[in-house]
Structure 1
Amino acid sequence: MPRSPSDKEKTAPVKRAPASVLKRIDPAALLDAAAFGLVAVDLDERVLALNERLATLIGVQAQDALGLPCVQVLRNRSGVQRCGAGETLESEENVSRTDDLITRDRRRIPVRISVSPLADESGLRIGYLKTVEDLSGPEATDHLLGSSYGFGAVIGRSLCMQRLFSMLPVVAQSDASVLITGETGTGKDLLAEAIHQASDRAKGPFVKINCGALPATLLESELFGHKKGAFTGAVEDRPGRFRMAHRGTLYLTEIGDLPLALQVKLLTFLDDKVVYPLGGTVGHAADVRVVAATHRDLGEMVRRGRFREDLFYRLNVLRLQVPSLREREGDIPLLLDYFLKRHSAELGRPIQGFAPRTLKILLGYDYPGNVRELKNIAEHCAHLCQEKRVQPVHLPAYLTEKPVVRQRPAPAAAEAAVTKGPGPGENGTAPEAWSHIEARLIREALVKARGHRGRAAQIVGCARSTLWRKIKHYGIEV
């Protein structure tokens, strides 16, 4: 039988760590160890510290947020004027509420925000500590899992999308690696996040990194972390995205752009689930599910020696092919209506739909940019339309200035058209190729943004990394 404690043992004081030990604790490491988001602000509501969990949730670098007004970092529906700390100005107690947090890529995440006052040793208030708990667990998508029109934020009623949706609940409950393939703009990112939210890892972080957006040396540090002094500028230890995604999901978009040297390191992690930071010799276990996506043909890249065959098979455990919008028969009207209603509601515009002539133009268009392009067109119309129905004049100019056709030209025909020059069209000119249109739109956006790539990306309607990749692809001078 276990020995019962004596009276002396019952009254013995609890041993506390000496002050010297407490002083050696790194405050940043303490914040990062929390399983929820944390941000400390001063009395002027400027950010003093931000942990990695919250930085990952809202899509910012923790260092970039320091010194900024809290309202610029934690954007939410009810916190337009204040970050929320003001709620505790007249109270010494904690204040808690639920809200929608707006991320850097304009997603809304339901959260519970708690605000507590911070005081110094003399009891004088010096700031506030905010905890942010992500509430977008499996219950957030339960109403869509049984819906015939969607899964998470991905919607569609075409036969090919129905087949995809039928596979997703099973894929979500598995812990195996997932490879998502499909053309640019088909919704691979939304699908990856929907899988995470429907999985048992939904309470953990969903960490995304673009493998084609950074040079190989920086990408290795971002993925696996680094030790202080590992390279010039490494002034502190960084955990890396794998460790940040512990007990959650790491989403590797544009996996086809991952350098061969890092493909070996990724394969090693998938085999033993241990992360070795740059400049370090001690490994760190990370419980992470890997979801990868690409618009490239990885099988062809394997044959050309540009992608490791063993890594391809390791990632290709569960394969999801997202169909292009051209293959999704009947989904274009559904998506147009969905995005127009969403954007018009955000703008407070009473737009009821598309006029018949407008809808005819939109249904006859090819959408080479897929759902992303369709969404941008709907947003463009919502901003310009001042009437009850969207008219052709409210459409982007490239949809009405030149004839648009349903079918794309074959690659050989397109190449011949570029080599031989335009053939006769309705106005004596050929329809402009999408690549030329896209390059022109990017140039115009850069001019409007005065060379600022972040603002140009917002004008075009794509991520900054995507814009940078297209600038290099088209050889545009900045």
Structure 2
Amino acid sequence: MEPNPSFLKIILDSLTEGVFTINKDRVITSFNQAAERITGFSRKEAVGRKCFEVFQADICQNSCALARTLETGKNVVDLPVTILNAQGREIPISVTTAVLKDHRGRMVGGVETFRDLSAIEALRKEITQKYTLQDIVSKSEAMLNIFQTLPDIAQSDSTVLIQGPSGSGKELLAKALHHLSPRKTKPFVAVNCSALPETLLESELFGYVRGAFTDAKKDKPGRLAQADGGTLFLDEIGDLPLPVQAKLLRVLQEKTFEPLGSNTSKPLKARVISATNKDLKELVRLNRFRDDLYYRLRVIQIDLPALKDRREDIPLLIEHFRKKFNLKTGKKIEQLSAKALQILMHYDYPGNIRELENIIEHAFVLCHGPIIQPAHLPKELQQEDVRTGRFSLSTGRLQNRERELILETLEKFHGNRTLAARELGIHPTTLWRKLKGMT
């Protein structure tokens, strides 16, 4: 018995996902109400036209999902795509395709279902903007407090001392201050104070004039001059030799400096930001760092926490590095397995954010599929003794982050609410109600 066409139409029009069918020439033969709502094209406007004329998707010309399905007979599932609606506005959708066959098993066309991801994308952008400042991503309370004060700090010319463990993002923070400041069009010049011996460090900072020493064949501007009008970033300031500390103190006091071998002072026009992974107060107590220089450098002090003290940032950072290495390597790794993520959530990261980035890069080298597994992580992490368990929205910790967690889970499953609800441990209706309350 052939299905009643009117029944099929009622069924298709009751779906929240858009559905349309095409024949073997890629001409649209049916178009449900949700498809009308998402695309802005009426059924009458769509039926009889080529599908690419209606959707104008970013994959239509070179890698059409439906065309691939018609050629290979294989389904495409939850492929993220951007289309242009009838008003010319970009709409993010997720598409799934399948072959249509007649009662004899002969291919007669294809069917595509698609869901509108606009609300999810809007939430993602809102959260990304909320938890991103320049190239820094975080949602920990300590870091968000820094985010709030950073624009005010950037507008001043006061010296800034950034303290934090190695790999915690001190230079990124210094660059963020520079790019938020009126100096952003001028140079950002970084000097690693621990990388050079005292004699080279002095000439590197101050520069020299011709004849200052045997090999000085011509004038060479130092970093103080190179940073003219911009920002001078002194990294590992705690390793600065005491004689150079005295000269730097004079520069900060008088706002002038003299290149080696010169008697002419030049004005200091750069803002000075310094950073250290050491306790400068303790170095002052041990007479290894000048107290007067310490107070000159730390008019404003920013303390960056270790990654183990901001574990809520780990998934955010993993996602940031996943996107970075996908672009860098051309791979299409979609996510970490639950077990791999749990290992990373429980690790203490003595090397902080830099170590996490290295771990993800290591995983990208070994992973040839869409999901990073524990076997792709460094061996020392695979041996970590971690607990197993699932996240649930019923816990107090996640209740505080419910909005972000729902979005992250929906992104993980490309907007599939049923799978997202299952992962979150809630009923799909509950998830739908929560999403509705967010819009």
- Report the TM-score when normalising by structure 2: 0.58
User: How big is each residue's C-alpha offset from its partner over 1:257-294, in whole Å with a ceiling of 9 and x where there is no partner?
Assistant: 00111111111111111111111111111311000000
CA distance in 1, matches of 2:126, 2:219: 41
* 1:246 alignment partner in structure 2: 228
Please identify the structure whose Cα radius of gyration is greater: 2
* RMSD of aligned Cα (Å): 1.8
Equivalent in 381, 397, 402 of residue 399 of structure 1: 381
Matched, 1:308 2:281: no
CA distance in 2, matches of 1:403, 1:191: 31
What 5-or-longer segments of structure 2 have no aligned partner?
1-124, 388-439
Matched, 1:375 2:357: yes
* One-letter amino acid of the counterpart of residue 378, structure 1: I
* 1:256 alignment partner in structure 2: 238
In the TM superposition, what is the alpha-carbon distance from 1:323 to its structure 2 partner? 0.8
Q: Flag the 1:305–1:150 CA change in 2: closer, same or farther, 3 A.
A: same
> Secondary structure at the residue paired with 1:219?
helix
CA distance in 2, matches of 1:325, 1:315: 25
> Secondary structure at the residue paired with 1:330?
helix
* One-letter amino acid of the counterpart of residue 356, structure 2: L
* 2:267 alignment partner in structure 1: 285
* One-letter amino acid of the counterpart of residue 285, structure 1: P
Matched, 1:167 2:167: no
Matched, 1:350 2:332: yes
Equivalent in 149, 159, 162 of residue 180 of structure 1: 162
Q: Flag the 1:366–1:264 CA change in 2: closer, same or farther, 3 A.
A: same
* One-letter amino acid of the counterpart of residue 342, structure 2: K
User: How big is each residue's C-alpha offset from its partner over 1:398-444, in whole Å with a ceiling of 9 and x where there is no partner?
Assistant: 212x33579xxxxxxxxxxxxxxxxxxxxxxxxxxxxxxxxxxxxxx
Map 1:55-454 onto structure 2 (within 5 A): 147-400=129-382, 402-403=383-384
* One-letter amino acid of the counterpart of residue 280, structure 1: S
Q: For the Cα contact (< 8 Å) 2:363–2:372, is it kept in 1?
A: yes
Q: Flag the 1:200–1:366 CA change in 2: closer, same or farther, 3 A.
A: same
* 1:12 alignment partner in structure 2: none
What 5-or-longer segments of structure 1 have no aligned partner?
1-142, 407-478
> Secondary structure at the residue paired with 1:333?
helix
In the TM superposition, what is the alpha-carbon distance from 1:144 to its structure 2 partner? 10
Q: Flag the 1:144–1:188 CA change in 2: closer, same or farther, 3 A.
A: farther
CA distance in 1, matches of 2:279, 2:228: 29
* One-letter amino acid of the counterpart of residue 279, structure 1: G
Q: Flag the 1:405–1:317 CA change in 2: closer, same or farther, 3 A.
A: farther
Identity of aligned residues (%): 48
In the TM superposition, what is the alpha-carbon distance from 1:145 to its structure 2 partner? 12
CA distance in 2, matches of 1:286, 1:316: 18
In the TM superposition, what is the alpha-carbon distance from 1:321 to its structure 2 partner? 0.4
* 1:125 alignment partner in structure 2: none
* One-letter amino acid of the counterpart of residue 152, structure 1: Q
> Secondary structure at the residue paired with 2:129?
coil
- How many residues are paired up? 263
* 2:414 alignment partner in structure 1: none
CA distance in 2, matches of 1:144, 1:265: 47
Q: Flag the 1:253–1:145 CA change in 2: closer, same or farther, 3 A.
A: farther
User: How big is each residue's C-alpha offset from its partner over 1:7-58, in whole Å with a ceiling of 9 and x where there is no partner?
Assistant: xxxxxxxxxxxxxxxxxxxxxxxxxxxxxxxxxxxxxxxxxxxxxxxxxxxx
Q: Flag the 1:389–1:208 CA change in 2: closer, same or farther, 3 A.
A: same
> Secondary structure at the residue paired with 1:147?
helix
CA distance in 2, matches of 1:183, 1:249: 22
User: How big is each residue's C-alpha offset from its partner over 1:123-165, in whole Å with a ceiling of 9 and x where there is no partner?
Assistant: xxxxxxxxxxxxxxxxxxxx99993202111110011111111
* One-letter amino acid of the counterpart of residue 377, structure 2: L
CA distance in 1, matches of 2:386, 2:201: 40
CA distance in 1, matches of 2:323, 2:153: 31
CA distance in 1, matches of 2:196, 2:386: 36
In the TM superposition, what is the alpha-carbon distance from 1:236 to its structure 2 partner? 1.3
Q: For the Cα contact (< 8 Å) 1:144–1:150, is it kept in 2?
A: no
Q: Flag the 1:242–1:313 CA change in 2: closer, same or farther, 3 A.
A: same
CA distance in 2, matches of 1:146, 1:349: 23
Q: For the Cα contact (< 8 Å) 1:144–1:151, is it kept in 2?
A: no
Q: For the Cα contact (< 8 Å) 1:216–1:259, is it kept in 2?
A: yes
Q: For the Cα contact (< 8 Å) 1:204–1:246, is it kept in 2?
A: yes
> Secondary structure at the residue paired with 2:166?
coil
Q: For the Cα contact (< 8 Å) 1:145–1:152, is it kept in 2?
A: no
CA distance in 2, matches of 1:245, 1:146: 32
* One-letter amino acid of the counterpart of residue 391, structure 1: Q
CA distance in 1, matches of 2:174, 2:386: 32
Greater relative CO, 1 or 2 (CA 8 Å, sep 6+): 2
Q: For the Cα contact (< 8 Å) 1:209–1:253, is it kept in 2?
A: yes
Q: For the Cα contact (< 8 Å) 2:251–2:268, is it kept in 1?
A: no
> Secondary structure at the residue paired with 2:189?
strand
Q: For the Cα contact (< 8 Å) 1:365–1:404, is it kept in 2?
A: no
Map 1:4-19 onto structure 2 (within 5 A): none
In the TM superposition, what is the alpha-carbon distance from 1:203 to its structure 2 partner? 0.9
CA distance in 2, matches of 1:364, 1:145: 24
In the TM superposition, what is the alpha-carbon distance from 1:228 to its structure 2 partner? 1.5
* One-letter amino acid of the counterpart of residue 210, structure 2: K
